[in-house]
Amino acid sequence: MSRTVESDPQMSAPVLAAYSYCEAVTGQQARNFAYGIRLLPTPKRRAMSALYALSRRVDDIGDGALAPDVKADRLDDTRALLARIREGKVEEDDTDPVAVALAHAATHFPIPLGGLDELIDGVLMDVRGETYETWDDLKVYCRCVAGAIGRLSLGVFGTERGALHAERAPEYADTLGLALQLTNILRDVREDAEDGRTYLPAEDLAKFGCSAGFSGSEPPAGSDFAGLVHFEVRRARALFAEGYRLLPMLDRRSGACVAAMAGIYRRLLDRIEREPEAVLRGRVSLPGREKAYVAVRGLSGLDARSVSRGTVRRRA
Q: What is the 3-state secondary structure (H, E, C) of 248-289?
A: HHCCHHHHHHHHHHHHHHHHHHHHHHHCCCHHHHCCCCCCHH
> Is 148 inside a domain boundary?
yes
Q: Tell which of 46, 78, 110 closes a domain.
A: 110
**Cβ neighbours of 117 (radius 10 Å):** 17
- If pLDDT is split at 50, 70 and 90, which confidence band does 6 have? very low
The answer, yes or no, to whether residue 5 has pLDDT greater than 60, is no
In the chain the beta strands, taken as DSSP E runs, fall at none
- In angstroms, rounded to a whole number, what is the distance separating the alpha carbons of residues 43 and 6? 6
In terms of residues, how long is the chain? 316
User: What pLDDT, on a 0 to 100 scale, did the predictor assign at position 289?
Assistant: 79
User: What pLDDT, on a 0 to 100 scale, did the predictor assign at position 286?
Assistant: 82
Name the least confident of 23-37, 57-71, 204-218, 228-242: 23-37
Average pLDDT over residues 134-159: 97
> Is 122 inside a domain boundary?
no
> Is 126 inside a domain boundary?
no
- In angstroms, rounded to a whole number, what is the distance separating the alpha carbons of residues 38 and 100? 21
Residues 200 and 310 in one domain: yes
Average pLDDT over residues 207-231: 94
- If pLDDT is split at 50, 70 and 90, which confidence band does 301 have? low
> Is 61 inside a domain boundary?
yes
Contact between 182 and 235 (Cβ < 8 Å): yes
The answer, yes or no, to whether residue 1 has pLDDT greater than 50, is no
User: What pLDDT, on a 0 to 100 scale, did the predictor assign at position 300?
Assistant: 62
The answer, yes or no, to whether residue 143 has pLDDT greater than 90, is yes
Residues 40 and 138 in one domain: no
- If pLDDT is split at 50, 70 and 90, which confidence band does 7 have? very low
Residues 93 and 57 in one domain: yes
Question: 90 versus 5: which is more confidently predicted?
Answer: 90
What CATH number has the domain bearing residue 296?
1.10.600.10
Closest residue by Cα to residue 188 from 23, 303, 299, 31: 31
Residues 216 and 93 in one domain: no
> Is 5 inside a domain boundary?
no
Residues 84 and 170 in one domain: no
- Crossing angle of the two packed helices 148-157 and 252-274, in degrees rounded to 10: 150
User: What pLDDT, on a 0 to 100 scale, did the predictor assign at position 10?
Assistant: 76
Residues 283 and 135 in one domain: yes
- If pLDDT is split at 50, 70 and 90, which confidence band does 308 have? very low
**pLDDT per residue over 175-201, tens digit each?**
999 999 999 999 999 999 998 999 999
Residues 85 and 141 in one domain: no
The answer, yes or no, to whether residue 312 has pLDDT greater than 60, is no
> Is 180 inside a domain boundary?
yes
Most confident of 9-18, 211-220, 243-252: 243-252
> Is 296 inside a domain boundary?
yes
CA distances from 41 to 45, 137, 234 (A): 6, 37, 34
- In angstroms, rounded to a whole number, what is the distance separating the alpha carbons of residues 170 and 153? 10
Residues 59 and 96 in one domain: yes
Contact between 200 and 137 (Cβ < 8 Å): no
For the chain, what is the mean pLDDT? 90
> Is 276 inside a domain boundary?
yes
The answer, yes or no, to whether residue 116 has pLDDT greater than 80, is yes
- In angstroms, rounded to a whole number, what is the distance separating the alpha carbons of residues 159 and 154? 8
Contact between 151 and 173 (Cβ < 8 Å): yes
Residues 89 and 159 in one domain: no
Total count of domains within the chain: 2
The answer, yes or no, to whether residue 307 has pLDDT greater than 60, is no
Residues 84 and 209 in one domain: no
Residues 297 and 265 in one domain: yes
Q: Tell which of 110, 143, 162 closes a domain.
A: 110
- If pLDDT is split at 50, 70 and 90, which confidence band does 206 have? very high
The answer, yes or no, to whether residue 305 has pLDDT greater than 70, is no
Domain extent at residue 70: 13-110
pLDDT > 70 fraction of the chain, expressed in percent and rounded: 91
The answer, yes or no, to whether residue 11 has pLDDT greater than 70, is yes
- In angstroms, rounded to a whole number, what is the distance separating the alpha carbons of residues 105 and 50? 8
- In angstroms, rounded to a whole number, what is the distance separating the alpha carbons of residues 6 and 242? 28
User: What pLDDT, on a 0 to 100 scale, did the predictor assign at position 291?
Assistant: 76
Residues 244 and 309 in one domain: yes
**pLDDT per residue over 70-91, tens digit each?**
999 999 999 999 999 999 999 9
